[in-house]
């Protein structure tokens, strides 16, 4: 069955199978790969793995701090949960997917935090028809992803945990401390977590609508901050890789233009950091100028050019789709983009060909 966005365990199924077949390292209980092989799966390696005599390249999937990956893996092998924090679009969710796919074989055991998330959604709920008919029983209990994680000894992902009300968040405190869930409705109802269980949570540090975590809950997690990328070449490589994958899954098999990718990566990084490569300071927009947003701009622009002009990506479409990203938080941010074009892009257009074409599309900014 075709999927628009396959989970990590499906997307990288062949790599995971090859690594599992080769891995002879020491594994924590119920882990499918040793910590060293989990790291290799996420950051890649030069040596391919063998699967049925065929060489399988192990590709890099996360670009950033490699030592952070090692710390995250060791945290999950220990007694504390893992909290991935950072600005929106810094690949926290992708990293949690990769970790759970490699360690537990599934990234789908996930709680999605929202303002409406309750303690019942986090722990367990009931089939009320069965509950009224026969009273509390295991058959009437509806397990949550956290419940399944404890029972099966697998990782549970908790996305956007700080979007949940504080009282819902705190329902994790005793579970992370004692690895036990009390079920008072059942006679002697206690669920003891199996080896391999742990929690990976993610949280944005600058998004609106978040709730501060209690000190008690923070102490149950090791925090790792995923920082934005500050290297244009690396960011361009991520944009190219993810855009190619998203376009292929949309049924669009077209070449990725590396020059346009680098131009886009340069624009986003300079607006995000407030500094040009020449050393000039810039105002920064309120919008999240993340790598994820840059990927979205490229994909939307490529799809627009493909469907409406039957051609590869055009710079006019790039600028048009950039407007929606920049103006997402505040319309005044468009003036920052306009200033960027009138100063930085204009100066570069005098010497660099693509920047000249880019500057000519400033008319779409208004």
In 3D, which of 237, 230, 289 has the Cα closest to residue 44? Answer: 237
Q: What is the pLDDT of residue 347?
A: 92
H/E element, 339: helix 333-340
Q: What is the pLDDT of residue 6?
A: 87
Q: Chunk the chain into consecutive blocks of 10 residues (it has 366) and report each block's average pLDDT, rounded to whole numbers.
A: 82 97 96 98 96 95 92 96 91 96 98 94 94 89 97 97 94 95 91 97 81 93 92 92 88 91 96 92 89 94 93 92 84 90 93 89 89
Q: What is the pLDDT of residue 326?
A: 87
DSSP of 41-61:
HHH--SSPEEETTEEE-----
- 3-class DSSP assignment, residue 222: strand
Question: How far apart (Å, rounded) are the C-alpha atoms in residues 261 and 6?
Answer: 24
Q: Kindly calculate the radius of gyration of the chain based on its CA atoms and give it in whole angstroms.
A: 23
In 3D, which of 272, 292, 294, 274 has the Cα closest to residue 283? Answer: 274
H/E element, 200: strand 198-204
The pTM of the full predicted model, rounded to 2 decimals, is: 0.88
Question: How far apart (Å, rounded) are the C-alpha atoms in residues 36 and 39?
Answer: 5
């Amino acid at each position: 069955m075709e999927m628009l966005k396959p989970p990590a365990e499906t997307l990288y199924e062949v790599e995971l199978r090859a690594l599992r077949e080769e891995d002879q390292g020491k594994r924590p209980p119920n882990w499918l790969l040793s910590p060293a092989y989990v790291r290799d799966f996420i950051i890649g390696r030069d040596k391919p793995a063998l699967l049925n005599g065929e060489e399988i390249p192990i590709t890099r999937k996360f670009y950033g701090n490699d030592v952070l990956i090692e710390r995250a893996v060791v945290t999950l092998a220990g007694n504390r949960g893992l909290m991935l924090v950072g600005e929106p679009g810094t690949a926290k969710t992708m990293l949690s997917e990769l970790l759970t796919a490699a360690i537990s074989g599934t990234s789908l055991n996930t709680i999605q935090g929202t303002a409406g998330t309750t303690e019942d959604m986090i722990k367990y709920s009931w089939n009320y028809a069965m509950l009224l008919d026969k009273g509390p029983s295991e058959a009437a209990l509806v397990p949550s992803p956290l419940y399944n994680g404890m029972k099966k000894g697998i990782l549970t992902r908790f996305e956007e945990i700080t979007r949940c009300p504080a009282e819902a968040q705190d329902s994790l405190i005793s579970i992370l401390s004692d690895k036990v869930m009390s079920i008072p409705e059942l006679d002697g109802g206690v669920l003891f977590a199996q080896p391999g269980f742990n929690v990976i949570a993610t949280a944005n540090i600058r998004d609106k609508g978040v709730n501060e975590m209690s000190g008690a809950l923070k102490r149950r997690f090791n925090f790792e901050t995923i920082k934005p990328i500050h290297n244009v070449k690396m960011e361009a490589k991520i944009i190219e890789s993810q855009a190619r994958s998203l376009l292929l899954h949309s049924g669009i098999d077209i070449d990725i233009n590396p020059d346009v990718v680098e131009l886009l990566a340069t624009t986003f990084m300079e607006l995000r950091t407030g500094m040009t490569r020449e050393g000039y300071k810039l105002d920064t927009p309120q919008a999240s100028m993340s790598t994820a947003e840059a990927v979205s701009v490229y994909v939307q622009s490529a799809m627009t050019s493909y469907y409406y002009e039957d051609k590869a990506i055009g710079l006019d479409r790039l600028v048009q789709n950039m407007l929606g990203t920049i103006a997402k938080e505040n319309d005044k941010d468009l003036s920052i983009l306009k200033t960027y074009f009138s100063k930085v892009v204009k100066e570069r257009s005098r010497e660099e060909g693509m920047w000249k074409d880019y500057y000519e599309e400033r008319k779409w900014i208004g």
